[in-house]
A and B are shown apart, each in its own frame.
Chain A
Amino acid sequence: MHEMGIAMQIVEIAAASIPKGMENIKVEKVNLKVGKLSAVVPESLRFCFDIVAKDTPLSGAQLMIEEVPVVATCNECSSEWTITGPVFTCIKCGSGSIRIVSGRELDIVSIEIADP
């Protein structure tokens, strides 16, 4: 639901990452990492990105979204596993004292520009 605001941030950060003197270059891809636990729907983010990118150096760029699984470790027995369902207890010892290692990402990794 807040994908429009997120898309605006992405365009701003990506545009600011274009090296000086290359302002007229065409950005082909924006590589993004989105955790499965984050409150972002990839399709709607792509849709908003296309709209927000118009008339910017990001216009027409593809938003490449790598979805990151939710991985947790147990504070009791140190097991590490991927959470796929709505259960956040240790699969080995049942402890509820766990740490989410990944799955909340909302990161811009890189941009790809046409080779000069």
Chain B
Amino acid sequence: MEIKVVRKVLDVNNTMAQQNRNLFAGKKVFVLNVMSSPGSGKTATLVKTIRRLLPEIKCAVIVGDICSTLDADRLSVTGVPVVQVNTDEFGGDCHLAAHVIGNAAGSIDLDSTDLLIVENVGNLVCPAEFDIGEDARVVVLSVTEGEDKPIKYPLMFRVCDAALLNKIDLLPHLEYDRNAVVKNIMQIHPGMSLFEISAKTEEGFDPWIMWLKEKVKKKLS
């Protein structure tokens, strides 16, 4: 005997994500979900980004580090509130689930936050699947990772609004085909916003900061 079910496996996560979204909408907080492989430069990029946004835009960070507080310590240097979360067996080690973000948001003063940045777990697969109630998604890809990553992880590049091509200060030392990676990104997500940056030298930061500010301000207004 067949019994119809017809439910989304991620129903629970999607419901929690919607609750988060309602909460953030009520508090007028813009939420940015930042994803990448481990070591692409999420933390480095965020430290520099936050410094440029302050004091105009009040920031807070949730960072999902599996087994250390190193990223949280680096981010705390900016002076903004940083909440470190550990992933759990329910959500898995590979991504931040909506309920984890909901809990973490509870320890942030959302009334005095304009932009809540989530540094997701280093992984190009799983975080793409889990809605956390964010307003925008950004994927960081460093030039040391090769040109083919967008092709290998299409879902991540499809679901993200912008890609940050990081570590361009290293280009003189690499045999990197910049045109190939751009072509690959545009093939997976035509028209995707793309910013070529160096979190070390801050080259290319102006357009990226402008893009982000504009989005945040639109939600605040």
Contact = CB atoms under 8 A, between A and B. Distances in A.
Contact of A19 (B3, B6, B91, B189): B3
B190 A96 contact: yes
Given A38-B129, A89-B190, A107 B7 contact: yes
B9 A106 contact: yes
Interface stretch (B25-33, B107-115, B150-158, B208-216): B150-158
A10 B9 contact: yes
Nearest to B6: A109
A34 B5 CA distance: 15
Given A39-B128, A88-B189, A17 B5 contact: yes
B10 interface: yes
A108 B3 contact: no
Interface in B181-217: 184, 186-191
Interface footprint category on A: 35 or more
B123 A88 contact: no
Contacts of B126: 1-2, 39
Q: How large is the interface on B (under 10, 10 to 19, 20 to 34, 35 or more residues)?
A: 35 or more
A115 B90 CA distance: 33
B11 interface: yes
B4 A89 contact: no
A27 to B, nearest CB: 9
A1 B6 contact: no
Interface of A: 1-2, 4-6, 8-10, 13-14, 17-19, 31-32, 37-40, 86-89, 95-98, 100, 104, 106-116
